[in-house]
Amino acid sequence: MYGVIAGMEAWQNAGLPIAQEEPDWDSGIVFGTGMLGVDKVRESIYKIDQGQVRRLGSTAVVQTMVSGVCAYLGGMLGCGNQTTANSSACATGTEALLLAYDRIVAGTAKRMLAGSCNDHGPYIWGGFDAMRVLPYQYNQSPEQASRPLSATASGFVPGSGAGALVLESLESALERNAPIYAEILGGHVNSGGQRGGGSMTAPNASAVQRCIQKALQQAGIQADEIDVIDGHLTATTKDPDEVKGWVNALQRSGSNFPYINSLKSMVGHCLSAAGSVECIAAVLELYEGFIYPSINCDNPHPDISALIDPANIPQQVIRKDINVIAKANFGFGDVNACVLLKKYQL
């Protein structure tokens, strides 16, 4: 439901019409997810075990299939181009954006709706709690629990929702006088192959650095042009490793390091929805001219402070015109995605 709402709102905000009699052959959808319809699956299991198959209802399949969200959106919007779902854990949303971008760059679509969502609740989050990666020390003060980059970070706070963005060729956008929030310069998606220290749940450090560096190459910009890093940064023990990866990939450290922040400090970790939700935040930073804070990080992790100037971890909103943001997400399965976004200027 969140995914469908986000997709429809993005389409309407872009000022695009809904196809009527004929499909819109130039518009497509890439909308990913990780886990979907868990409550429906649970309900179905009980009914099947009780021999009540006919009481499942006719929508049980479409409510639980991975491509369900993009299928619903495709029908509601009448998109006639590629309509597909992707799934790459926490990297899903950023990967969806890049898959949609590639299709437009290839000239096979003029417009693509890109986004991701994720199911929520105890049947999803319980598994992470069993892995001991969720915090419990802040149960009485939950607003302080999500602490990316902090020395007192003790795990990620689970979140939920969806995000959606409309991508369009510049020619098409200008032709219809569309609102343009930002420009996608390029990006890269890769995997560490669960080698070299990478595993099902931990990233290969070399692959992370390679993903960032390849994204810069494909975007055609230099490391010193990056103003802000919107990191993955989940408030786990991996945060210092991620910062080290950015330092090594960009060859920037200390006070020369860009500003770095994590939206998860304010909204939690939305799992497969994280990339899309965070990409929207990055786009709004460029469009509105501000840098959002990483709250709860008044005591940066010492391993992070040894690498970068803590002043580059904003504690409050900074009003500032910025030009280029690097946005990355890293997911279970040792998968990585990084996109470079730029402020649009006529």
Q: What is the pLDDT, as a whole number, of residue 43?
A: 82
The domain spans of the chain are 2-146+154-175, 183-342
Q: What is the pLDDT, as a whole number, of residue 35?
A: 85
CA torsion, points 11, 221, 262, 134, in degrees to nearest 10?
Answer: 90
CATH number of 2-146+154-175: 3.40.47.10
Q: How far is CA 161 from the centre of its chain?
A: 11
Show the low-confidence residues of the chain (pLDDT under 50): none
Q: What is the pLDDT, as a whole number, of residue 62?
A: 83
State the Cα–Cα distance between residues 255 and 9, nearest whole angstrom: 40
Q: Which residues pair with 228 in a beta bridge?
A: 259, 325
Q: What is the pLDDT, as a whole number, of residue 300?
A: 97
Q: What is the pLDDT, as a whole number, of residue 7?
A: 98
From the list 153, 114, 160, the residue with the least C-alpha distance to 276 is: 114
Q: What is the pLDDT, as a whole number, of residue 56?
A: 80
> Global pTM?
0.95
Q: Are 3 and 33 in contact (CB under 8 A)?
A: yes
Q: What is the pLDDT, as a whole number, of residue 105?
A: 97
Same fold, 2-146+154-175 and 183-342: yes
CATH fold of the domain at 183-342: Peroxisomal Thiolase; Chain A, domain 1 (3.40.47)
Q: Are 297 and 179 in contact (CB under 8 A)?
A: no
Q: How far is CA 257 from the centre of its chain?
A: 22
- For CA atoms 235, 35, 11, 82, the dihedral sign is positive
From the list 29, 155, 205, 21, the residue with the least C-alpha distance to 100 is: 29
Instruction: Report the b/e string of 109-124 with b at 16+ CB within 10 A.
Output: bbbbbbbbbbbbeeeb
Q: Where are the alpha helices (DSSP H) in the chain?
A: 2-13, 38-49, 60-64, 68-77, 92-105, 122-130, 170-175, 205-219, 239-250, 264-267, 274-288, 302-305
From the list 227, 189, 228, 212, the residue with the least C-alpha distance to 101 is: 189
Q: What is the pLDDT, as a whole number, of residue 44?
A: 82
